[in-house]
């Protein structure tokens, strides 16, 4: 496989058509080598428009979804980021290039170790992977955060996560139930106030252990 041609095709055929036009984000996709974060069994699918299985019931999101989330989060160099769902470490690597510091939580111990190893091999030193359940109510040490990124979907965003945002901070995740989920950007406008927008639709696998509201009705 010609990796650079495949990477170019991914950007031009999948990512740009999804309104990812930020030049710095597009450049970053060539700096952070996605193939280094994909399990060997799926290396041939690295640049395909699909989710990549990581085992343990988890996966890497499709490239266009990752790129659009990265663009919409609009992370700046002075900011501290919390990611829920490290997976193989790829999104943490992308975020680390744009942030001052990234703390990424991963519930599965094997994936947490894989993410740490991948980040180390990629020469990234401002991203830390912690083996923790991001759905737990306990505030994460080193918070509050400028940005919280959910690398998977939830039925609804728990208030415990919103409470860990700084004023002016924002949370980005994919929220809802199949067949309709929406990318949701929530900004903390004051100590008690939040604003939100839902700029695009997609479908993504669930993050583990986040509550599922009951749909039962009498």
User: Tell me: the pLDDT tens digits for 7-38?
Assistant: 999 999 999 999 999 999 999 999 999 999 99
**CB-based contact 92:70 (threshold 8 Å):** no
* Residue 138 pLDDT: 83
pTM of the entire predicted model: 0.95
For position 56, what pLDDT does the model report? 85
Residue 189 CA neighbour count, 13 Å, CB half: 6
Q: How confident is the model over 172-212, as pLDDT tens digits? A: 999 999 999 999 999 999 999 999 999 999 999 999 999 88
Using an 8 Å Cβ cutoff, are 207 and 85 in contact?
yes
Domain 3-202: give its CATH architecture. 3-Layer(aba) Sandwich (3.40)
User: pLDDT tens across 71-126, in order?
Assistant: 999 999 999 999 999 999 999 999 999 999 999 999 999 999 999 999 999 999 99
Residue with token string 């020469």: 123
Domain ranges, ordered by start, for the chain: 3-202
DSSP 41-110: GGGGGTTSSS-EEEETTEEEPPHHHHHHHHHHHT--TT-EEEEE--TTSHHHHHHHHHSSEEEEE-SSHH
């Amino acid at each position: 496989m010609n990796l650079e041609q495949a990477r170019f095709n991914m950007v031009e055929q999948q990512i740009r058509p999804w309104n990812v036009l930020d030049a710095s984000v597009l450049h970053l996709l060539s700096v952070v080598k996605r193939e280094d974060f994909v399990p060997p069994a799926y290396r041939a699918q690295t640049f395909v428009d699909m989710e990549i299985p990581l085992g343990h019931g988890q996966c890497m999101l499709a490239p266009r979804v990752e790129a659009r989330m990265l663009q919409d989060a609009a992370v700046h160099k002075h900011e501290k980021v919390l990611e829920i769902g490290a997976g193989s470490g790829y999104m943490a690597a992308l975020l680390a290039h744009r942030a001052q510091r990234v703390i990424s939580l991963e519930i599965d111990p094997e994936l947490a170790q894989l993410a740490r190893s991948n980040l180390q091999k990629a020469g990234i030193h401002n991203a830390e992977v912690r083996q923790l359940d991001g759905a737990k109510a306990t505030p994460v040490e080193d918070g509050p955060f400028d940005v919280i990124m959910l690398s998977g979907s939830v039925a609804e965003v728990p208030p415990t996560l919103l409470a860990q945002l700084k004023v002016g901070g924002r949370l980005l995740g994919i929220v809802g139930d199949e067949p309709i989920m929406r990318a949701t950007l929530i900004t903390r406008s004051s100590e008690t106030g939040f604003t939100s927008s839902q700029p695009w639709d997609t479908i993504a696998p669930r993050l583990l252990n986040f509550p599922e509201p009951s749909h039962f009705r009498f």
